[in-house]
């Protein structure tokens, strides 16, 4: 006989924060977070010093899976160009899912506005790592100006994620060809 282990209060709070802030935004109330997690406010404050810390911990917890969902495996033998295009193909495929609301890290930064907020700092780090990935691939692929290309790719990434996330842009068959033009212009092979 197997018994199902119920997730801890901490785990339930982290998951509730991830789900609700992604679908409703970071301004979701503490009451709603606690209710969704099945945890009292008192318990929440015993586990996290503030809602801000809960949001940061939730974003941190999902960062590895988020990046893994975008990047190709390192040993797939793709060219740097193909590795960059893969990221945008993933965004295209994710954007058609009904629960897609764009990039959770960009959303957190936009909604919080305060770059010193703990959740903004996590989001900024994740976005900086993605920019670094683009820069490294651009350099390896022979781009004329890897820094400029990485910045342009992030602009397209964030813009596409935001527009698809609010339902005003269909990325299918549009995003990857747009990125290919940027790669061609930059001299990427």
> Which regions of the chain are under pLDDT 50?
none
Nearest 5°: the CA angle 153, 115, 118 is 110
What pLDDT does residue 75 have?
81
Question: Does any domain span residue 72?
Answer: yes
Q: What percent of the chain has pLDDT over 90?
A: 88
CATH number at residue 178: 1.10.357.10
Question: Does any domain span residue 169?
Answer: yes
What pLDDT does residue 5 have?
74
Closest CA to 90 of 110, 112, 66: 66
Instruction: Compute the distance between CA of residue 69 and CA of residue 74 in angstroms, rounded to an integer.
Output: 13
Q: Quick check: 109 and 55 in contact, CB under 8 A?
A: no
Q: Where in the sequence is the domain holding 142, given as residue range(s)?
A: 60-185
pLDDT tens by residue, 163-172: 999 999 999 8
Query: In total, how many domains does the chain have?
Result: 1
Question: Does any domain span residue 107?
Answer: yes
What pLDDT does residue 2 have?
61
List Cβ<8 Å contacts ≥24 apart for 180-185.
180/85, 182/149, 182/152, 182/153, 182/156, 183/81, 183/84, 183/85, 183/141, 183/143, 183/149
Residue 53 is inside which H or E element, if any?
helix 51-70
Instruction: Compute the distance between CA of residue 18 and CA of residue 23 in angstroms, rounded to an integer.
Output: 9
Q: Is the pTM here over 0.85, yes or no? A: yes
């Amino acid at each position: 006989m197997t018994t199902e282990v119920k997730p801890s209060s901490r785990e339930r709070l982290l998951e509730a924060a991830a789900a609700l802030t992604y679908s409703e935004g970071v301004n979701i109330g503490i009451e709603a977070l606690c209710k969704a997690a099945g945890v009292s406010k008192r318990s929440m404050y015993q586990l996290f010093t503030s809602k801000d810390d809960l949001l940061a911990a939730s974003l941190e917890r999902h960062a590895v899976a988020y990046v893994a969902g975008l990047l190709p495996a390192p040993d797939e033998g793709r060219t740097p160009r193909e590795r960059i295009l893969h990221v945008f193909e993933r965004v295209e495929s994710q954007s058609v899912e009904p629960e897609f609301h764009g990039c959770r890290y960009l959303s957190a930064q936009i909604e919080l506005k305060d770059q010193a907020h703990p959740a903004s700092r996590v989001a900024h780090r994740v976005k900086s790592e993605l920019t670094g990935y683009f820069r490294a691939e651009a350099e390896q692929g022979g781009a004329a100006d890897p820094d400029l290309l990485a910045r342009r790719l992030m602009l397209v990434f964030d813009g596409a994620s935001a527009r698809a996330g609010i339902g005003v842009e269909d990325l299918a068959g549009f995003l990857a060809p747009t990125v290919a033009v940027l790669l061609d212009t930059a001299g990427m092979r």
